[in-house]
């Protein structure tokens, strides 16, 4: 109990210093993010995002399945369709940069599905629009998958009827009547299951970053990214404060007193983590109250992501204090990390962040603390995820917080 009391005493002392002495830190942590939140809300709040993906469709099939795919694509309001007769003509349009993808339905597509023979739809993607190309690929996969199931069912019905002695060639009327009746029962039941939705699915990509709903507000996409970036402004604040106390000798006097080293460090971490939590609460509060910012369905999830974000930022601030040789150097390193990791982690462009792509840079971006925290917030706010959905991101943030903390304690000199 005595250690807890001393830790909280350090926390209270640091909060008093920040509240009454360091106006610059308060401006960077509270006033600036709040002002940007209000400005962004005034510009984007309540505005619906729209997406328009121009694609080219080449339907070489002469059957019903090819026509069905074209009709389904036309009904998707986010897609702007043009049709071409040949794949080469479609490729030419893609090369101009005016169209993001070409969907090429092969010859005998319907026949192959009916015969239960492997077939494929080709999706040619403009490399400069790879993120949107993935959307097209996913849409085609879902449409073609549903049609493949229908084809497989019809093929299976025909095989069963043939095994029962009904021959399509010798008695076509009876065969077709039996086939139609069986298909009607099966497809009616399938439609019933789709309407009742006994099982609900949420699509996520291979990295766990949710696929965004483009019907959400732009503000819901941008605000969490800004919150994450500004949370890391505690890095220069904490690191310079620690170095200053070391330079004037107050840390040495505290360590020499009955105050345990763990209480000193823990108190400072709690104080600055509290600042991050308060910063997030203010930003989300303003967004929710004044600009209809959705907060998702898991308040506990928001709390956990925020605490993990705060601990990550403060532990990184301690690491900077351990490595920097002066307050000016700590400030420079801290600001560099804020903007460098912010850009790499997607805080400046959350809709087209690097971690949503492919390749080495995408992997590096995905494992930045900024990206992990931002994905956690987006999972809760935009995808309406549950607590379990964000636990991997929270766990990752807590893990790297511990690593930063241990390295900082190992390298930090109290004298």
Mean pLDDT of 162-191: 56
Range picked from 23-32, 41-50, 298-307, 328-337 for highest mean pLDDT: 298-307
Q: What is the pLDDT of residue 150?
A: 61
- Which is more confident, 200 or 81? 81
In this predicted structure, what is the pLDDT of residue 197?
43
Q: Does 252 have pLDDT greater than 60?
A: yes
Q: Give dist(CA 194, CA 191) in Å, integer.
A: 5
Distance CA 210, CA 351 (A): 12
Helical ranges in 164-260 per DSSP H: 172-196, 218-231, 234-248, 250-256
**Which residues pair with residue 101 across a beta bridge?**
55, 125
Per-residue pLDDT, 359: 83
> Is pLDDT at 223 greater than 80 in this prediction?
yes
Share of the chain above pLDDT 90, in %: 13
pLDDT in the model for residue 180: 57
For residue 68, what are its two tokens?
């069905």
Q: Dump pLDDT digits (tens) for 351-360.
A: 778 887 778 8
- Give the range with max mean pLDDT: 186-200, 241-255, 294-308, 320-334: 294-308
Give 24-57 pLDDT, tens digit per residue. Answer: 556 556 666 667 667 666 655 554 445 677 888 8
106: CB partners within 8 A, 6+ apart: 60, 61, 119, 120, 121, 122
Give Rg (Cα) of the chain: 29
Distance CA 125, CA 21 (A): 56
**Structure-block tokens of residue 311:** 């601990």
Q: Sign of the CA dihedral 8, 12, 13, 18? A: positive
382 in Cβ contact with 392 (< 8 Å): no
Are the beta carbons of 390 and 305 closer than 8 angstroms?
yes
* Residue-range domains of the chain with CATH: 2-47+216-411 (no CATH), 53-196 (3.40.1710)
133-156 residue pLDDT tens: 666 777 777 666 666 666 556 555
Judged against a pLDDT cut of 90, whether residue 100 lies above it is answered with: no
Residue 182 has pLDDT above 50, yes or no: yes
CA angle 18, 23, 27 (to 5 degrees): 105
- Quickly list DSSP for 102-134: EEEEPTTHHHHHHTT-----EEEE-GGGHHHHH
**Is the model's pLDDT at 296 over the cut of 70?**
yes
Residues in CB range of 130: below 8 A, 6 or more apart: 357, 358
pLDDT band of residue 412 (cuts 50, 70, 90) is confident
Are 370 and 342 a contacting pair, CB within 8 Å?
yes
Q: Is the pLDDT assigned to residue 279 strictly greater than 80?
A: yes
Tell me the backbone φ, ψ of residue 203, rounded to 5 degrees: -80, 135
Percentage of the chain modeled with pLDDT above 70: 64
Identify which of 301, 169, 168 has the alpha carbon closest to the alpha carbon of residue 224: 301
pLDDT band of residue 184 (cuts 50, 70, 90) is low
99: pLDDT strictly greater than 50: yes
Instruction: Report whether pLDDT(181) > 60.
Output: no
Q: Tell me, what's the pLDDT at 390? A: 93
Has this prediction a pTM greater than 0.75?
Answer: no
pLDDT-derived band at 309 (thresholds 50, 70, 90) equals: very high
Are residues 350 and 222 in contact, defined by beta-carbon separation less than 8 angstroms? Answer: yes
């Amino acid at each position: 109990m005595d250690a807890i009391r001393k830790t909280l005493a350090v926390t209270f002392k640091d909060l008093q210093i920040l509240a009454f002495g360091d106006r610059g830190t308060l401006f960077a942590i509270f006033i600036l993010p709040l002002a940007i939140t209000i400005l962004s809300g005034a510009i984007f709040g309540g505005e619906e995002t729209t997406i328009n993906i121009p694609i080219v469709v080449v339907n070489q099939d002469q059957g019903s399945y090819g026509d069905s795919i074209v009709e389904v694509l036309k009904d998707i309001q986010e897609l702007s369709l043009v049709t071409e007769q040949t794949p080469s003509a479609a490729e030419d349009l893609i090369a101009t940069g005016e169209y993001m993808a070409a969907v090429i339905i092969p010859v005998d597509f319907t026949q192959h599905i009916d015969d239960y023979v492997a077939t494929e739809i080709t999706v040619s993607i403009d490399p400069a629009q790879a993120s949107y190309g993935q959307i097209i690929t996913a849409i085609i996969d879902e449409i073609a998958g549903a049609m493949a199931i229908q084809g497989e069912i019809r093929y299976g019905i025909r095989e069963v009827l043939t095994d029962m002695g009904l021959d399509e060639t010798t008695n076509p009327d009876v065969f077709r009547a039996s086939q139609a009746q069986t298909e009607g029962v099966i497809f009616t039941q399938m439609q019933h299951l789709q309407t009742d939705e006994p099982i609900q699915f949420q699509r996520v990509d291979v990295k766990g970053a949710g696929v965004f709903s483009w019907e959400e507000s732009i503000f819901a996409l941008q605000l969490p990214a800004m919150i994450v970036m500004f949370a890391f402004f505690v890095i220069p604040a904490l690191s310079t404060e620690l170095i200053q106390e070391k330079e004037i000798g107050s840390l040495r006097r505290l360590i020499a007193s009955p105050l345990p080293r763990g209480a000193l460090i823990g108190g400072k971490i709690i104080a600055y983590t509290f600042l991050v939590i308060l910063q997030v609460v203010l930003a989300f509060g303003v967004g929710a109250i004044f600009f209809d910012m959705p907060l998702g369905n898991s308040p506990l999830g928001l709390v956990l992501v925020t605490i993990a974000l705060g601990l990550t930022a403060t532990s990184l601030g301690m690491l900077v204090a351990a490595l920097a040789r002066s307050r000016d150097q700590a400030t420079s390193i801290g600001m560099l990390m804020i903007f460098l990791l912010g850009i790499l982690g997607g805080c400046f462009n959350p809709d087209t962040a690097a971690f949503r792509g492919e390749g080495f840079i995408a992997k590096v971006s995905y494992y930045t603390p900024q990206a992990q925290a931002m994905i956690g917030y987006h999972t809760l706010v935009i995808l309406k995820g549950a607590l379990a959905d964000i636990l991997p991101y929270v766990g990752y943030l807590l893990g790297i917080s511990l690593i930063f903390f241990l390295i900082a304690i190992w390298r930090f000199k109290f004298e």
